[in-house]
Amino acid sequence: MLTLTCPYCGVTAEETELTPGGQAHLTRFGPGSSDAEFEGYLFARTNPKGVHFERWRHAYGCGKWFHAARCTATLEVFGTYPAQAVAPPDDLIAHIKARRPGWEGWT
């Protein structure tokens, strides 16, 4: 079972206590954007086998959204961090690179 630690309240919660929110760090496009940009924002998602950055909500806890980095193949969790972060923390990136030497980045 997937377990994630909420970066706000510190509780390590099982997957059933959380709500998935899809891919993290999407660039949002709204009024004034092109049709292609808006379509990409609505529908285009990565689906990697390996390291993935996702949004999760601690639905049956503090209720806050946060980001998690995990491996989609093994369910190894590399870390969680607040949803307000525009990019993963440097120490988390270093941790992932140490665990997955061939990994090329989070973008």
- Determine which residue in the list 9, 36, 75, 94 makes contact with Zn ion, applying CB under 5 A: 9
Using the rule CB under 5 A, give the single segment among 6-14, 36-44, 69-77, 88-96 that binds Zn ion: 6-14
H helices of the chain, where? 35-43, 90-99
DSSP 75-103: --EEEEEETT-SS--HHHHHHHHHH-TT-
Q: Is 61 in the site for Zn ion (CB under 5 A)?
A: yes
Residue 4 touches Zn ion, criterion: CB under 5 A: no
Binding site for Zn ion (CB under 5 A): 6, 8-9, 58, 61-62
